[in-house]
Structure 1
Amino acid sequence: MKDYLIKATTYEGMVRAYATTTTNTVAKAQKRHDSWATASAALGRTITITAMMGAMYKGDDSLSVKVEGNGPLGVIVTDGNAKGEVRGYVANPHVDFELNNHGKLDVARAVGTEGNISVVKDLGLKDYFTGHVPIISGEISEDFTYYFANSEQIPTAVGAGVLVNPDHSILSAGGFIIQVMPGADEELITRLEDQIQTFPSISKLIREGNSPEQILEHLFGKEEVKVHEQMPITFRCKCSKERIERAIKGLGNEEIQAMIDEDHGAEATCHFCNKKYYLTEDELVNLKQ
């Protein structure tokens, strides 16, 4: 099944919902970075949530997410946009632990329970919007629920899950974001909280083959869910040799000459997709101003 996301509303438009499958997208990230199980779960959850957040925007709008915990994973960085394109990496992909007390991958131990989450939005304006919140659990989904409530003042429930095979490949991944619109009464909010509390594991639903539509049906039961849009989700990196050349050119003639004299060329690796770029001596000479 191809990865895709749906945008929907329910409760007569008082609740906005996003649901997505990201199995192939997370699998591509796992292969690019050779990440181990717990690292894949942390990165995959962040990629999934970033994809859904990107879907909240329009046109060429985009966002960058950084999860900086005090765990051995180091920083997790993801980018997403309004077109369903997402990419990401984790500083230390070779992190894995025994299952936690709940029989699940110990993402909180890998991420750490202290640190910060930052979200930088590029909405095509003069200045970027940046939101910061502390990490409250390290489980990623709970941390982004806290982000929406405190940085954007929107009552939100966030769920993202990744299941990993014994060989570290990705079995399933996906998630949901539920937001209560202004004007919703306390009775509706309480009802939603009860529904979310009894909601099955998102990873389990995806492993069983549930589509984004069926995920929301499980969540909202008999309530009518109106789907407004469907969009594909893909892992896509923006790197290119031209971008690398511009970055090297910005280092100045002295640094470029040192690359020529000492290394007889240059090699650069994209953090997001692990693709390597090579520049010859002649190409470096042409970058000098």
Structure 2
Amino acid sequence: MNDYLVRATGLQGKVRLFAARTTDVVEEMRRRHDLFPTAAAAVGRTATAAAMMGAMLKGEEKVTIQVKGNGPIGQIVADANAKGEVRAYADNPHTHLPSNSLGKLDVAGAVGTEGFIYVIKDLGLREPYRGSIPIVSGELAEDFTYYFAKSEQTPSAVSLGVLVDTDYSIKTAGGLILQLLPGLEEDEIAELEKRLAAIPPVTSMLERGLTPEDMMRELVDDISAVERLELRFQCFCSRERVENTLVSLGKEELDAIIEGEGSAEVVCHFCNEKYGFDRTELTTLRERLDAK
């Protein structure tokens, strides 16, 4: 099964659902950044949330999530768009902690229980939308649930999971979001709450071979308006962009690099791709500034 996301409605349009399998996307991030298990779980959960939030957008719109807690992993950044393209990284990819009291990867310990989560949406307007909430647990699913309730005034339930294998590869990863829309009756809300309390973890469902559609049906029987979106890791860095970044440093800074080390290596935060420039290439870039 390839990574993909499903968005749908249920209960005659009174709930909105998003469910995703992100195993391959998270594995690609783990491989590129050499993520240790706890870091992989934290980055994977954030990236999965970003993928589902990206599916709430349209056209060229995109969302960026910044998790800035007081834990050892430092900042986690993920972004995604309406096309299913996702990327993410953490400041300290080699973060790994002992299991928590439940015998699970201690994501809250890595993220920290104090700090903020920032959500920036580029909607093609003059200024991007910015929302933020304080970290409430550090486990991230609860934090994004709180974000939707406080920043977007949409009662939601968020489930995120990443299962790391013994060889540190990603065994399963995915997520599920249920959002309540106007028109729900009290008995319908009570039934949803009952199902939410009984639903297995996302990783358990994926391990059993459930599809994103199957995960939705664990919560709502009658899903409709089903749309499928393929998900993939995608970075947008390029040598040309890096060259433009080096030129933007200005004449003095470029001269200092040329006369000093005589070479430069730029590493992309998101994909860990390395771009090297020797003295001749740097001099050519410097000449661009003289030609302006």
- For Structure 1 versus Structure 2, the TM-score category normalised by the shorter chain is over 0.9
Partner of 1:271: 269
Distance between the aligned counterparts of 1:189 and 1:72, measured in 2? 38
Distance apart, 1:246 and its partner CA: 1.1
Distance apart, 1:96 and its partner CA: 1.3
SS of aligned partner of 2:196 = helix
Distance between the aligned counterparts of 2:170 and 2:202, measured in 1? 15
Q: Give the conservation status (yes or no) of the 8 Å contact 1:65–1:118.
A: yes
**Higher mean C-alpha deviation, range 275-284 or range 28-37:** 275-284
SS of aligned partner of 1:209 = coil
Partner of 2:48: 48
From 231, 242, 245, the counterpart of 2:243: 245
Extract structure 1 runs of 4+ deviating beyond 4 A: none
Distance between the aligned counterparts of 1:263 and 1:180, measured in 2? 58
Q: Give the conservation status (yes or no) of the 8 Å contact 2:266–2:275.
A: yes
Q: Deviations over 1:125-149 (max 9, x none)?
A: 1110000100000001000000000
Distance between the aligned counterparts of 1:219 and 1:227, measured in 2? 16
Distance between the aligned counterparts of 2:247 and 2:185, measured in 1? 57
Distance apart, 1:248 and its partner CA: 1.1
Distance between the aligned counterparts of 1:151 and 1:185, measured in 2? 24
Distance between the aligned counterparts of 2:178 and 2:66, measured in 1? 22
SS of aligned partner of 1:76 = strand
Distance between the aligned counterparts of 1:120 and 1:77, measured in 2? 11
SS of aligned partner of 2:218 = helix
Partner of 2:109: 109
Q: Could you tell me which amino acid in structure 1 is paired with residue 212 of structure 2?
A: P
Distance between the aligned counterparts of 2:284 and 2:187, measured in 1? 67
Distance between the aligned counterparts of 1:191 and 1:255, measured in 2? 63
Distance between the aligned counterparts of 2:13 and 2:98, measured in 1? 43
Q: Give the conservation status (yes or no) of the 8 Å contact 1:120–1:131.
A: yes
Distance between the aligned counterparts of 1:267 and 1:257, measured in 2? 15
Q: Give the conservation status (yes or no) of the 8 Å contact 1:6–1:227.
A: no
Distance apart, 1:93 and its partner CA: 1.0
Q: Give the conservation status (yes or no) of the 8 Å contact 2:195–2:218.
A: no
Distance between the aligned counterparts of 1:273 and 1:86, measured in 2? 11
Distance apart, 1:183 and its partner CA: 3.0
**Higher mean C-alpha deviation, range 79-88 or range 210-219:** 210-219
RMSD in angstroms over aligned alpha carbons? 1.0
Partner of 1:57: 57
Distance apart, 1:157 and its partner CA: 0.7
Distance between the aligned counterparts of 1:183 and 1:217, measured in 2? 20
Counterpart mapping for 1:178-257 below 5 A: 178-220=178-220, 223-257=221-255
SS of aligned partner of 1:43 = helix
Q: Give the conservation status (yes or no) of the 8 Å contact 1:73–1:90.
A: yes
Residue 91 in 1 paired to residue 91 in 2?
A: yes
Distance between the aligned counterparts of 2:71 and 2:202, measured in 1? 24
TM-score normalized by the length of structure 1: 0.97
Seq. identity, %: 49
Aligned residues: 287
Gaps of 5+ in 1: none
Q: Could you tell me which amino acid in structure 2 is paired with residue 41 of structure 1?
A: A
**Higher mean C-alpha deviation, range 179-188 or range 15-24:** 179-188
